[in-house]
């Protein structure tokens, strides 16, 4: 594919008086058209990623541009080098920029107190502290050292569900901490 460079060398008089007598092509080009280029050319970085939806594992390229001082994802599309997907994406993969940038994302911590009828704001640090206390308490209050006289060393007071959209590293630490806590009710979509 030839690039745009040849276009800019054309003298304007040839557009007017020259070959495009009907004014449907060269002569009618607007500044916007003349300046057209893919926005991905403005990206500072192209990051290698994998589609977060199904398990086919299509490779993605994530274009990051600094917009108003903030690194912003401006485009996600298929990575042509992948032997799995060769640059292709399904509608969900093709929509995955919106998964990141859509305004419906909840980006602050919310808290609903017992019997509450509305969400309240809570700092992340405070939420982490409250959750830590609740884990320690539930575990202490519902510890089963034995089950039917056999050693069990566990608690059935906490459950966990999820992991199938998580990274392996995340699942690994969840299972590791969960086991050290003595909690066993841990499940994910693989069972659902």
Partner 1 sequence: MGNRLFGPLADVAADAGYTEPPRRMGFFTDTSVCIGCKACEVACKEWNALPEPDAGMMALTGMSYDNTVELGANSWRHVAFIEQERPVPAPAGNGNGHAGAGAGAQRWLMASDVCKHCTHAACLDVCPTGALVRTEFGSVVVQSDVCNGCAYCVSACPFGVIDRREDDGRAWKCTLCYDRLRGGLEPACAKACPTDSIQFGPLDELREAAAVRLADLHASGETGARLYGHDPSDGIGGAGAFFLLLDEPEIYGLPPDPVVTTRDLPAMWRWAGAAAAVMVAGIGMAFAGRSARPGG
Partner 2 sequence: MAECHPVAFGWVVEAKRRGATVLHLDPRFTRTSALADHHIPVRVGGDIVLLGALVNHVLSGRHEFREYVSAYTNAADILPEDFTDTEDGAGLFSGYDPGSRRYDNTTWQPTGERDETLEHPRCVFQVLKRHFARYTPELVEAVCGVSRQDFALLADALVAGSGRERTTVWVYAVGWTQHTTGVQHIRTAAILQLLLGNMGRPGGGIMALRGHASIQGSTDIPTLFDLLPGYLPMPRVEDDSLKAYLTRLPDTGFWGLKDAYTVSLLKAWFGDAATAENDYCLDYLPRLSGDHGTYSTVLDMIEGKVSGYFLWGQNPAVGSAGSRLQRLGLAKLDWLVVRDLALIESATFWQDSNEIATGELDPTRCATEVFFLPAAAHVEKEGSFTNTQRMLQWHDKAVDPPGDARSDLWFIYHLGKRIRAKLAGSTDDRDRPLLDLTWTYPEEGEDAEPNAEAVLREVNGYGPGGRLLNGFTELAADGSTSCGAWIYSGCFAGGVNQTARRKPHTEQSWVAPEWGWAWPANRRILYNRASADPQGRPWSEKKAYVWWDEQASQWTGHDVPDFERAKPPGFRPERGASGPAALAGTDPFIMLADGRGHLFVPSGLADGPLPAHYEPAESPVRNSVYGQDDSPVSKLYPDHAITHDQVGGHSAAYPCVVTTYRLTEHHTAGGMSRTLSRLSELQPELFCEISPALAADRGLENGGWATIITARSAIEARVLVTRRVRPLRLSDGSVIHHVGLPYHWGTAGLVRGDTVNDLLPFAVDPNVLIQESKVATCQIVAGRRPRGPALTVLVNEHRRAAGLGDLPGGPERGNG
Smaller CB distance to partner 1: residue 8 or 117? 8
Is 170 an interacting residue with respect to partner 2 (CB under 8 A)? Answer: yes
Interacting residues with partner 1 between 24 and 63 (CB under 8 A): 24-33, 36-41
We find the least distance from the C-beta atom of residue 124 to partner 1, in angstroms, to be 28
User: Which partner, partner 1, partner 2, none, binds residue 43 by CB below 5 to 8 Å per kind?
Assistant: none
Stretch that binds partner 2, among 2-10, 12-20, 24-32, 91-99 (CB under 8 A): 91-99
CA–CA dist 186, 162 (Å, integer):
8
Backbone angles phi, psi at 19, to 5 degrees: -85, -20
We find the least distance from the C-beta atom of residue 173 to partner 2, in angstroms, to be 5
> In terms of Cα–Cα distance, which of 123, 51, 55 is closest to 94?
51
> In terms of Cα–Cα distance, which of 45, 53, 44, 43 is closest to 85?
53
Stretch that binds partner 1, among 71-79, 125-133, 170-178, 179-187 (CB under 8 A): 71-79
Residue for token pair 């589609």: 51
Smaller CB distance to partner 2: residue 26 or 184? 184
User: Which partner, partner 2, partner 1, none, binds residue 5 by CB below 5 to 8 Å per kind?
Assistant: none
Counting residues that bind partner 1 (by CB under 8 A) gives 45
Q: Residue 51, by phi and psi: left (phi above 0), alpha (psi -120 to 50) or beta?
A: beta
**Residue 2, helix vs strand vs coil:** coil
Is 75 an interacting residue with respect to partner 2 (CB under 8 A)? Answer: no
Is 84 an interacting residue with respect to partner 1 (CB under 8 A)? Answer: no
Name 74's Cβ contacts closer than 8 Å, sequence gap at least 6. 39, 40, 42, 43, 63, 64, 65, 67, 97
We find the least distance from the C-beta atom of residue 7 to partner 1, in angstroms, to be 7
């Amino acid at each position: 594919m030839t690039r745009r460079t040849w276009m800019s060398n054309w003298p304007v008089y040839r557009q007017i008086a020259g070959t495009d007598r009907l004014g449907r092509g060269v002569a009618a080009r607007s500044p916007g058209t003349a300046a057209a280029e893919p926005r991905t050319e403005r990206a500072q970085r192209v990051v290698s990623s994998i589609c977060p939806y199904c398990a086919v594992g299509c490779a993605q390229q994530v274009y990051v541009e600094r917009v108003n001082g903030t690194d912003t994802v401006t485009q996600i599309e298929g990575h042509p080098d992948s032997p799995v997907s060769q640059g292709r994406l399904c509608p969900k993969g093709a929509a995955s920029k919106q998964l990141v940038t859509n305004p419906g994302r909840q980006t602050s911590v919310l808290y609903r107190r017992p019997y509450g009828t509305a969400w309240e704001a809570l700092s992340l640090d405070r939420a982490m502290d409250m959750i830590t206390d609740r884990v320690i308490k539930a575990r202490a209050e519902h510890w089963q050292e034995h089950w039917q006289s056999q050693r069990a060393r566990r608690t059935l007071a906490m459950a966990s569900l999820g992991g199938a959209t998580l990274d392996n590293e995340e699942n690994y630490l969840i299972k590791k901490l969960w086991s050290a806590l003595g909690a066993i009710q841990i499940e994910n979509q693989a069972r659902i």
